[in-house]
Amino acid sequence: MTAPSESRTGGSSPQDSTEGRVYDVGGADWDDVVAAAQSPDFQSSDERMVVNMGPQHPSTHGVLRLILTLDGETVTELRPVIGYLHTGIEKNMEFRTWTQGVTFCTRADYLAPLFNEAAYCLAVEKLLGVEAEIPERATVLRVLLMELNRIGSHLTAVGTFGLEIGATTVFIYGMREREKTLDLLELITGLRMNNAYIRPGGVSQDLPAGAIERLREYVRIMPGLLGEIRALFDAAPVFLARTKNVAYLDVTGCMALGVTGPILRAAGLPWDLRKSQPYCGYETYEFDVPTRTTCDAYGRYIVRMDEMEQSLRIIAQCVDRLSGVPIGSQPVMIEDKKIGWPAKLALGPDGLGNSPDHIAHIMSQSMEALIHHFKLVTEGFRVPAGQSYVGVESPRGELGCHAVSDGGTRPYRVHLRDPSFTNLQSVSVMAEGGLVADVIVAVASIDPVLGGVDR
Amino acid sequence: MAEVTSQGGENDQQNGATDPAAIAGRERLAEQVQRTGMFGAGDTGDTSGYGGLKVRRAPLLASPRPYGSYFDELADSLESAMNAAGTSYDAAIPLVVVSNGELTLYVRREHLLSVASQLRDHPDLSFEMCLGVSGVHYPDDAGAELHAVYHLLSITHNRRVRVEVTAPDADPHVPSLVDIYPTNDWHERETWDFFGLIFDGHPALTRIEMPDDWRGHPQRKDYPLGGIPVEYRGATIPPPDERRSYE
């Protein structure tokens, strides 16, 4: 945005354009830019400014590129461009065993890795027909981990929402609280993200010692910490001015565009797969589905804050179910020896790995056990031919996994229906006709994770 | 690894003409290589999946009535809705499969739009939401190599249904559902990008995940994993599957 190219002061080389005038802001004095934009010559013309935003931009929530057509401060057209983070996760999964697939799909939506794993593992278990044989403790652990992950993801969403509209304190608060969540994930799964903890047939290991106490402490302190964020944001006049009636999308729009998750619930529809199509025993937990009817960015923020409080309720119920039994006394992996991972993880003299008992067994006692271990670990198990689809309620909406098997030891095709991918389509509808500044709010309120968008 | 080594060749040449063991050895080495690497996994370097099982066919097992669950009611509603609209249910849906507790309707592509609009609009069906399209490539399913799989969700009735459409590789066209389910805009672009399925009537069927100038459709089965040279500042390294092997 500066003076026409013939009088351009900045820019290293004149740009060749076959059509229209090219404006280049490079190195120009801002006063010249403003003067050029206000010149009667420019004002009277019907030219529109096309501004590129991203893919490396602090406010685009990731490697997302937005092409904006502006009329003054008003966005007349917005076209998102994606694909910068495409890593071929779905293709790679076709070349690894069903169990190894977890390691790939967990990296798709990197803020909600446990949901990717859960959707994929539930789809594989559906193909295997072993849903009823998953141990109760593994299912409770899955729910516990998913709800912890939901809090971590929503804290990032709310924190970066704050950062992107200039409220850095909220960002710091959000990251600080998320760190407490990630500490727990690290304690239980061994990793902060890309956990690969949920496996077909169960979970990789039971809780470590001391985890119950840490979880109880977390449930005790988190409501206060969430309250601190709410005290900063819920009624802050500047925040309300930036988010109320901004990025509007009603139920009809959500239905047409396939939008799910907090955006749909902020439009007033209490659609939550944990309630409507329960999986992992969610029907046995007590929790509410928060909704708002504002259809705007503020409603989505409030829904996310409320959901974190509900997640804490679920976590408390999980902890109650998990406590009272000595750790390791109940199975966390399917009993079926043809599917369940043969070894348990344990801390040996040289670090975490296959349990020393198991190593002793296969290396010096039973040749058959060694063969079994080798076959199951390198070849993997076979999955009956067919296809299945499982949807779980991820922090961003319905995360679906479409798994196709040809009867072999590797997936024939796995498709992740990522909510970020679908929801991001709606940014044009939300932002067109609004101000440039509201584009940032719209993107932040969708909370897309580009790892999930591009896979 | 299949080359005949010439170590001790002199000795072989002297005795080889008459020694049966040497003749057998030469014959064995002259045979065509059946497979390389360990355990028959010739496509990638990893040792998983050495069972070598290859069933490149979509399992098509028609399910007889009754389908169970809400599936019969759904099929009846769709049949009456389609017949009322003047299209034949049997002509449009040649195959219905119920497995894993899921209902799959195989729809002929020329009837996809009418089936989808009935599924969305009929009050007994009300599949308001489409969860996108997922492509699957079955190179051995002659005449129906490319499958487009749609998952539909009815929030009104809390039901799901899967609609599957096929197209041959030679004529990879499927009608676009963007007019009925606008959410399919990006999903169809993705399926075109990855599988080469052309969705007729899509407003702008362009690549979405791969770069605009990419050649080929990477998630097809005939497209190798890796398979492209690594380029960095003018230097080129061959793709992983073409680099020299130390086996």
Beta-sheet strands, E only, within A5-121: 49-53, 65-71, 74-81
Nearest CB to B134 within list A260, A379, A402: A402
- Looking at residue B38, what is its pLDDT? 45
Highest-confidence segment of A52-56, A427-431, B86-90? A427-431
Q: Which residue of B has its CA nearest to A450?
A: B209
Asked if residues A5 and A36 have their Cβ atoms less than 8 Å apart, the reply is: no
Give the gap in angstroms from C-alpha B115 to the nearest C-alpha of chain A. 17
What number is the average pLDDT over the span B40-59?
Answer: 49
Q: Is the pLDDT of residue B54 over 60?
A: no
Q: Please check whether residue B137 touches A, CB under 8 A.
A: yes
Asked if residues A53 and A60 have their Cβ atoms less than 8 Å apart, the reply is: yes
- Looking at residue A380, what is its pLDDT? 83
Cβ contact A277–B158 (<8 Å): yes
Bin B134: left if φ > 0, else alpha if -120 < ψ < 50, else beta: beta
Partners of B55 on chain A (C-beta within 8 Å) are: 385, 406-408
Q: Which residues, at least 6 apart from A262, have a Cβ–Cβ distance to it below 8 Å?
A: A300, A303, A304, A307, A395, A396, A397, A447
- Looking at residue A339, what is its pLDDT? 87
Q: Which residues, at least 6 apart from B143, have a Cβ–Cβ distance to it below 8 Å?
A: B168
Beta-sheet strands, E only, within A122-244: 198-199, 202-203
- Looking at residue A3, what is its pLDDT? 39
Q: Is the pLDDT of residue B246 over 80?
A: no
Q: Is the pLDDT of residue B157 over 70?
A: yes
Q: Which of B134, B191, B241 to mutate to test the interface with A (most CBs of A within 10 A)?
A: B134
Asked if residues A188 and A197 have their Cβ atoms less than 8 Å apart, the reply is: yes
Nearest CB to A386 within list B54, B59, B131: B59
What is the rounded average pLDDT for all residues in chain B?
80
pLDDT in tens, A270-297: 999 999 999 999 999 999 999 999 999 9
pLDDT in tens, A290-299: 999 999 999 9
Q: Which residue of A has its CA nearest to B212?
A: A83
Say which range, A351-360, A386-395, A435-444, has the weakest mean pLDDT: A351-360
- Looking at residue B37, what is its pLDDT? 47
Would you call A408 helix, strand, or coil by DSSP?
Answer: coil
Nearest CB to A83 within list B131, B136, B208: B208
Residue type, A41: D
Confidence tier at B238 by pLDDT (50, 70, 90): confident
Partners of B100 on chain A (C-beta within 8 Å) are: 126-127, 129, 386-388
Partners of B134 on chain A (C-beta within 8 Å) are: 402, 413, 415, 417
pLDDT in tens, A145-183: 999 999 999 999 999 988 888 888 889 999 999 999 999
**Does the complex come out with an ipTM higher than 0.95?**
no
**DSSP readout, B101-135?**
TEEEEE--GGGHHHHHHHHHHSTTT---EEEEEEE
What number is the average pLDDT over the span B132-137?
Answer: 92
Range 28-57 of B in CB contact (< 8 A) with A: 43-44, 46-51, 53-57
Confidence tier at A264 by pLDDT (50, 70, 90): very high
Which of A230, A93, A205, A220 shows the shortest CA–CA distance to A145? A205
CB count in 10 Å sphere of residue B95: 14
Say which range, A244-248, B11-15, B74-78, has the weakest mean pLDDT: B11-15
Q: Please check whether residue B134 touches A, CB under 8 A.
A: yes
pLDDT in tens, A12-65: 344 555 556 666 656 667 787 777 777 777 666 666 778 888 777 666 677 888
Asked if residues B98 and B67 have their Cβ atoms less than 8 Å apart, the reply is: yes
Nearest CB to B136 within list A258, A277, A404: A404
- Is it true that the peptide bond before A237 is cis, omega within 30 degrees of 0? no
Cβ contact B225–A95 (<8 Å): yes
Q: Which of A63, A79, A84, A91 to mutate to test the interface with B (most CBs of B within 10 A)?
A: A91
Say which range, A120-129, A140-149, A402-411, has the weakest mean pLDDT: A402-411
- Looking at residue A375, what is its pLDDT? 82
Handedness of CA A236, A240, A243, A249 (dihedral sign): positive
pLDDT in tens, A297-341: 999 999 999 999 999 999 999 999 998 888 878 888 888 888 888
Residue type, B102: E
Q: Which residue of B has its CA nearest to A128?
A: B100
- Looking at residue A24, what is its pLDDT? 61
Confidence tier at A377 by pLDDT (50, 70, 90): confident
What number is the average pLDDT over the span A91-111?
Answer: 90
Which of A182, A186, A162 shows the shortest CA–CA distance to A174? A162
Give phi and psi for A228, each to the nearest 5.
-65, -40
